[in-house]
Amino acid sequence: DAGITQSPRHKVTETGTPVTLRCHQTENHRYMYWYRQDPGHGLRLIHYSYGVKDTDKGEVSDGYSVSRSKTEDFLLTLESATSSQTSVYFCAMGPGLAGGQTDTQYFGPGTRLTVL
């Protein structure tokens, strides 16, 4: 019952190349998020979206951009990949609440990205 998927699931790329990760949801949730997870740091928010074409930065947004042209799709782009961007990337979705307060988030299966 995967209401949220990510592609690709694994990717190896070289420093300096652009990389795009895709997140797709079928639940019509308003909010979508991109996180990275590294040992000792927990999940850190990269960017999030609160509607079509409405996005904002998270705490670790440098080197990343996002786009949301449809409710169901949220793309994360690494303009010029660096080795420090080797990580596991999780997409998440959530309904949000009136007034903008986020609530429970549901995560995709993750993308393991290695930048050589």
Partner 1 sequence: RKEVEQDPGPFNVPEGATVAFNCTYSNSASQSFFWYRQDCRKEPKLLMSVYSSGNEDGRFTAQLNRASQYISLLIRDSKLSDSATYLCVVTSRDYKLSFGAGTTVTVRA
Report the interface residues with partner 1, using CB under 8 A.
35, 40-45, 48, 58, 90, 100-110
Based on CB atoms, which residue is closest to partner 1, 14 or 54? 54
> Do 109 and 2 contact (CB within 8 A), yes or no?
yes
Based on CB atoms, which residue is closest to partner 1, 18 or 51? 51
**From the CB of 109, what's the least distance to partner 1, in Å?**
5
**From the CB of 82, what's the least distance to partner 1, in Å?**
23
- Please give the Cα distance from 92 to 23 (Å, whole number): 8
**From the CB of 68, what's the least distance to partner 1, in Å?**
16
Based on CB atoms, which residue is closest to partner 1, 79 or 94? 94
**From the CB of 17, what's the least distance to partner 1, in Å?**
25
Contact partners, residue 105, CB within 8 Å, separation at least 6: 31, 33, 92, 93, 94
Contact partners, residue 82, CB within 8 Å, separation at least 6: 15, 63, 115
Residue with tokens 């797709």: 24
